Amino acid sequence: MTTTPTVTTPTTTTGDGADTRQEPVIQNFGTVKGFPLGLTDEARTYGCERLNRILADTQILYGLYKKHHWIMRGPTFFQLHLLLDKHAQAQLEIVDALAERVQTLGGVAVGDPRHVAELTAVPRPPDGVEPVPAMLSRLLDAHRTILVESRESAAKAAALGDDGTNDLLVSQVVRTGELQAWFLAEHLVDTPLVGD
Protein backbone atom coordinates (compact mmCIF):
# COMPACT_ATOMS: atom_id res chain seq x y z
CA MET A 1 0.00 0.00 0.00
CA THR A 2 1.33 3.42 -0.91
CA THR A 3 1.36 5.78 2.01
CA THR A 4 1.73 9.51 2.19
CA PRO A 5 4.74 10.45 4.31
CA THR A 6 3.88 11.98 7.64
CA VAL A 7 6.13 14.77 8.84
CA THR A 8 7.01 14.19 12.49
CA THR A 9 9.43 15.83 14.84
CA PRO A 10 11.74 13.49 16.77
CA THR A 11 11.65 13.71 20.54
CA THR A 12 15.11 14.01 22.06
CA THR A 13 16.55 14.68 25.47
CA THR A 14 19.58 16.69 26.51
CA GLY A 15 22.45 15.88 28.80
CA ASP A 16 22.94 12.29 27.61
CA GLY A 17 24.56 12.94 24.25
CA ALA A 18 21.31 12.58 22.31
CA ASP A 19 20.75 14.63 19.18
CA THR A 20 18.72 17.67 20.23
CA ARG A 21 17.95 18.96 16.74
CA GLN A 22 14.25 19.14 16.00
CA GLU A 23 14.31 18.37 12.28
CA PRO A 24 11.17 16.95 10.70
CA VAL A 25 11.14 13.38 9.44
CA ILE A 26 10.03 13.57 5.81
CA GLN A 27 9.44 9.81 5.39
CA ASN A 28 9.00 7.34 8.21
CA PHE A 29 10.71 3.97 8.19
CA GLY A 30 8.29 1.28 7.03
CA THR A 31 6.46 3.55 4.60
CA VAL A 32 6.67 3.30 0.82
CA LYS A 33 6.41 6.26 -1.54
CA GLY A 34 4.58 5.81 -4.83
CA PHE A 35 7.05 5.55 -7.70
CA PRO A 36 6.00 4.74 -11.30
CA LEU A 37 7.76 1.37 -11.45
CA GLY A 38 4.93 -0.73 -12.83
CA LEU A 39 4.80 -2.73 -9.59
CA THR A 40 1.85 -3.13 -7.25
CA ASP A 41 1.87 -1.45 -3.86
CA GLU A 42 1.90 -4.94 -2.34
CA ALA A 43 5.04 -5.91 -4.28
CA ARG A 44 6.90 -2.73 -3.33
CA THR A 45 5.85 -2.88 0.32
CA TYR A 46 6.78 -6.56 0.58
CA GLY A 47 10.10 -5.93 -1.17
CA CYS A 48 11.05 -3.07 1.15
CA GLU A 49 10.12 -5.00 4.28
CA ARG A 50 12.04 -8.15 3.35
CA LEU A 51 15.01 -6.32 1.84
CA ASN A 52 15.41 -4.27 5.02
CA ARG A 53 15.56 -7.44 7.11
CA ILE A 54 18.17 -8.93 4.78
CA LEU A 55 19.99 -5.59 4.74
CA ALA A 56 20.16 -5.56 8.55
CA ASP A 57 21.49 -9.13 8.64
CA THR A 58 24.01 -8.37 5.88
CA GLN A 59 25.30 -5.32 7.74
CA ILE A 60 25.83 -7.51 10.78
CA LEU A 61 27.56 -10.16 8.63
CA TYR A 62 29.86 -7.46 7.25
CA GLY A 63 30.67 -6.40 10.82
CA LEU A 64 31.38 -10.00 11.83
CA TYR A 65 33.72 -10.43 8.88
CA LYS A 66 35.65 -7.30 9.83
CA LYS A 67 35.78 -8.26 13.53
CA HIS A 68 37.07 -11.75 12.76
CA HIS A 69 39.50 -10.36 10.16
CA TRP A 70 41.01 -8.14 12.86
CA ILE A 71 41.16 -10.70 15.68
CA MET A 72 42.10 -13.82 13.70
CA ARG A 73 44.57 -16.17 15.41
CA GLY A 74 46.49 -19.35 14.73
CA PRO A 75 48.54 -21.07 12.02
CA THR A 76 46.14 -20.03 9.22
CA PHE A 77 46.08 -16.40 10.38
CA PHE A 78 47.43 -14.89 7.18
CA GLN A 79 45.19 -16.83 4.79
CA LEU A 80 42.04 -16.27 6.86
CA HIS A 81 42.92 -12.64 7.57
CA LEU A 82 43.01 -11.97 3.81
CA LEU A 83 40.00 -14.16 3.00
CA LEU A 84 37.76 -12.57 5.62
CA ASP A 85 38.68 -9.08 4.43
CA LYS A 86 37.87 -10.05 0.83
CA HIS A 87 34.51 -11.49 1.95
CA ALA A 88 33.79 -8.34 3.98
CA GLN A 89 34.32 -6.16 0.91
CA ALA A 90 31.90 -8.28 -1.11
CA GLN A 91 29.31 -8.02 1.68
CA LEU A 92 29.75 -4.25 1.81
CA GLU A 93 28.92 -4.08 -1.90
CA ILE A 94 25.78 -6.15 -1.23
CA VAL A 95 24.80 -3.80 1.62
CA ASP A 96 24.88 -0.89 -0.82
CA ALA A 97 22.91 -2.78 -3.50
CA LEU A 98 20.23 -3.83 -0.99
CA ALA A 99 19.88 -0.31 0.42
CA GLU A 100 19.60 1.20 -3.05
CA ARG A 101 16.93 -1.35 -4.02
CA VAL A 102 14.86 -0.39 -0.96
CA GLN A 103 15.16 3.26 -1.96
CA THR A 104 14.31 2.44 -5.59
CA LEU A 105 11.10 0.77 -4.44
CA GLY A 106 10.16 3.92 -2.52
CA GLY A 107 11.08 2.74 0.96
CA VAL A 108 13.57 3.85 3.59
CA ALA A 109 16.68 1.68 3.93
CA VAL A 110 17.78 0.76 7.44
CA GLY A 111 21.13 2.41 8.03
CA ASP A 112 21.61 3.37 11.66
CA PRO A 113 23.56 0.60 13.46
CA ARG A 114 21.25 0.82 16.47
CA HIS A 115 18.23 0.23 14.21
CA VAL A 116 20.08 -2.59 12.44
CA ALA A 117 20.64 -4.27 15.82
CA GLU A 118 16.89 -4.16 16.49
CA LEU A 119 16.02 -5.79 13.15
CA THR A 120 18.71 -8.43 12.70
CA ALA A 121 18.13 -12.14 13.20
CA VAL A 122 21.88 -12.77 13.50
CA PRO A 123 22.87 -13.35 17.15
CA ARG A 124 25.38 -11.02 18.76
CA PRO A 125 28.80 -12.61 19.28
CA PRO A 126 30.84 -12.30 22.46
CA ASP A 127 32.85 -9.10 22.68
CA GLY A 128 36.11 -11.04 23.09
CA VAL A 129 38.03 -13.47 20.90
CA GLU A 130 36.57 -16.91 20.20
CA PRO A 131 38.51 -19.91 18.87
CA VAL A 132 38.90 -19.82 15.08
CA PRO A 133 36.41 -22.68 14.42
CA ALA A 134 33.81 -20.80 16.49
CA MET A 135 34.43 -17.61 14.48
CA LEU A 136 34.01 -19.46 11.19
CA SER A 137 30.92 -21.29 12.44
CA ARG A 138 29.39 -17.98 13.51
CA LEU A 139 29.97 -16.60 9.99
CA LEU A 140 28.44 -19.73 8.46
CA ASP A 141 25.37 -19.42 10.69
CA ALA A 142 24.92 -15.80 9.62
CA HIS A 143 25.20 -16.83 5.99
CA ARG A 144 22.60 -19.55 6.53
CA THR A 145 20.18 -17.04 8.06
CA ILE A 146 20.61 -14.66 5.12
CA LEU A 147 20.43 -17.40 2.49
CA VAL A 148 17.18 -18.86 3.83
CA GLU A 149 15.55 -15.41 4.08
CA SER A 150 16.84 -14.42 0.64
CA ARG A 151 15.55 -17.53 -1.12
CA GLU A 152 12.10 -17.17 0.45
CA SER A 153 12.00 -13.46 -0.36
CA ALA A 154 13.21 -13.96 -3.95
CA ALA A 155 10.49 -16.53 -4.64
CA LYS A 156 7.74 -14.29 -3.26
CA ALA A 157 9.13 -11.22 -5.07
CA ALA A 158 9.05 -13.15 -8.35
CA ALA A 159 5.47 -14.25 -7.66
CA LEU A 160 4.55 -10.59 -7.12
CA GLY A 161 6.24 -9.58 -10.38
CA ASP A 162 9.20 -7.82 -8.77
CA ASP A 163 11.93 -9.17 -11.02
CA GLY A 164 14.45 -6.53 -9.88
CA THR A 165 14.30 -7.65 -6.25
CA ASN A 166 14.33 -11.30 -7.28
CA ASP A 167 17.39 -10.74 -9.46
CA LEU A 168 19.28 -8.85 -6.74
CA LEU A 169 18.58 -11.51 -4.15
CA VAL A 170 19.45 -14.46 -6.40
CA SER A 171 22.35 -13.07 -8.42
CA GLN A 172 24.11 -11.14 -5.67
CA VAL A 173 23.00 -12.16 -2.18
CA VAL A 174 22.47 -15.90 -2.70
CA ARG A 175 25.28 -16.58 -5.16
CA THR A 176 27.85 -14.58 -3.20
CA GLY A 177 26.66 -16.05 0.11
CA GLU A 178 26.84 -19.62 -1.16
CA LEU A 179 30.35 -19.11 -2.50
CA GLN A 180 31.55 -17.51 0.73
CA ALA A 181 29.93 -20.24 2.83
CA TRP A 182 31.72 -22.87 0.77
CA PHE A 183 35.10 -21.19 1.35
CA LEU A 184 34.46 -20.97 5.10
CA ALA A 185 33.13 -24.53 5.41
CA GLU A 186 36.23 -25.91 3.71
CA HIS A 187 38.37 -24.38 6.48
CA LEU A 188 36.44 -26.43 9.02
CA VAL A 189 37.11 -29.78 7.33
CA ASP A 190 39.21 -32.00 9.57
CA THR A 191 42.16 -32.75 7.28
CA PRO A 192 45.30 -34.27 8.79
CA LEU A 193 48.55 -32.40 8.16
CA VAL A 194 51.21 -34.04 5.99
CA GLY A 195 53.65 -36.00 8.17
CA ASP A 196 51.18 -36.72 10.98
Over range 183-189, report the average pLDDT.
89
Q: Following DSSP, what letter does each residue of the chain receive, concatenated?
A: ---PPPPB-----SSSS-----PPBSS-TT------SS--HHHHHHHHHHHHHHHHHHHHHHHHHHHHHHH--STTHHHHHHHHHHHHHHHHHHHHHHHHHHHHTT------HHHHHHH--SPPPPSSPPPHHHHHHHHHHHHHHHHHHHHHHHHHHHHTT-HHHHHHIIIIIIHHHHHHHHHHHHHTS--PPTT-
pLDDT band at 4 (very low <50, low <70, confident <90, very high): low
Q: Is the pLDDT of residue 70 over 60?
A: yes
pLDDT band at 181 (very low <50, low <70, confident <90, very high): very high
Q: Render pLDDT for 120-163 as a digit per residue (tens, 0 to 9).
A: 999 999 999 999 999 999 999 999 999 999 999 999 999 999 99
Q: Is the pLDDT of residue 44 over 60?
A: yes
Dmax (CA) of the chain: 70
Q: Is the pLDDT of residue 54 over 60?
A: yes
